[in-house]
Structure formats: structure tokens, C-alpha cells
Structure 1
């Protein structure tokens, strides 16, 4: 009789393997000085429908060599999709931070990708960035109230009991 290959066993192995990788990484980091590399990166998230329902995953953290023009971003996204054998025509929408390099009507990444896709795509301004822009126009009284609410919510979360 071999070792069980049920979903619980495989799930446990995956969790243990992930934990082992994380522990080795932290152990290695503790030994050395940390530094950052001056490389612009694009976080490339994908949302898709699976048989279990909607999913959202980080497909890649794409380094941009040189500049952060729309062309550079579009090329990095296209290369990531090609490397992962994902058809570019699977894209149905793109959410961005609203930067000109992403949304420019002639040279923006969304415009460039749209020209390579065989159908119309929807483009959205990320809701988090919309909220941040909106918050910049709030009167001081509202900002004070919001800061208090955030402080209270963070306090509640920090004291919450976590259980399954």
C-alpha cells in the first residue's frame, strides 16, 4: 500500500512545501543585507472563470527594462502571456491605474494591446485608484472622520479572534 494521494494529502503537501520555501527564503534573507533594484515592474493580475467559480491570481511581476512606455508594458504583457501559452485573444478587459503610459489613445498599453486583439476589449480605471483620487478632494472634516473610522476598524481587526 502506497502513500495516500487524496486531495487532503496533496493539499497538505502543497501547504508544507510552500511553508518550507517560505522558511528557507526568510532564513536566507536574515543572513544578508537587503537592497532594492532600480527596475520598474508591472504587477499582472488575471481574473478568470474556472469550474469552481471566479478566480484572481498574480500571473507575473513583469520587469520593464529601460523605460515604462505603453509599448514596453504591452510587450511585457504579451510576452508573459506567450510564455504561459495563453492566447492574447482571451483578454476581454483591462483595468489600469489611469497613467498615460497605460491609457494613452495613441501609444498607451491598452491601445497597443487592443490593436493586437481580434475583438473589442473593455478598459477600466482601477477602483482603488479612483477612490484615492476622490479622497484627495475631501474636506478636512471628512478626512478626520475617515481617519478615525480606519483607526477603529484596524483596532478591531488587530484584536479579532481568528479561528476556523
Structure 2
């Protein structure tokens, strides 16, 4: 069936229309290319200013992200609340979380006893880590609750046994 050679004398069933459009002259082509180039530059400038997080001087905050994950904190005896706060702060810095956002985000990383504690104290905690406001600062209240003297003594004892 397909072994026969192609016959170039067969014409298509529908004629191919001849182009009736005129080609652009040199000046029209230049205007066209210039307008496309300007459009691309405008789009690139807008994308850069919206994704750079305020480097253009418009006062917008850096874009928040979730580059560094945070492990949950349960409030168990084998967890070090100071280490957890440090790792949370490192992630928050990398992810561009403000102190206000940290207060909104942190409950999602508290589980078990820690989640219960936060739920019971959420009305009293209004700041992330403010000097002079220990009773309303999350970090102060968190460390006071989960880094008790008893736990510190236990960790010190375990460290000495190593």
C-alpha cells in the first residue's frame, strides 16, 4: 500500500491561499520590535519588584516563604526547649517570618502537652520575644514552662554521665 513512490503531480484538494498581506517596511518593523521590547522590559521590572521583596525601595516587606522546615515540639522530657526555640528562630529568619507571624505560625508546630499549654495561655501571650515583657512574651513563657529547673538538673546530670 505505501510502497508506491509519492506522485508530486497530485494537487491538494483545497487550494492554498496566496498571502495578501503586505510585509512591514523597515520603519514599521523597528516600531513593532521597540514596542515589544518595551513591554518585556516593563514586565521584567514589575516581576523583579514584586519578587525581590522590597529591594526597589517601595517599602514592601520581603516575601514570606517556607524554605526551612520546623520540627514540632511536644513538651516531652527528652526535648530541649532552648534548642527548639533556636531552630525555630533560624527557620523564621530564613523564611522571612516577622515576630507577628511567628506568633501566628508557632501553634502549628506545638503538639501534645505543648499545644495544650499554648491553648491555655494564648490570651496572655501577645509578643514573640520582647525584653521587659516576660509575662506576655512567647519565648519567655515557653522557656519558663518547658525548661524548668528540674529538667535542667536532669539534662546536666545526663551531660555529666557522657
* Range of TM-score over shorter length: under 0.3
Q: What TM-score, normalized by structure 2, do the two folds share?
A: 0.25
* RCO comparison, higher one (Cα < 8 Å, 6+): 2
Which structure shows the higher strand fraction?
Answer: 1
Question: TM-score of the superposition, structure 1-length normalised?
Answer: 0.25
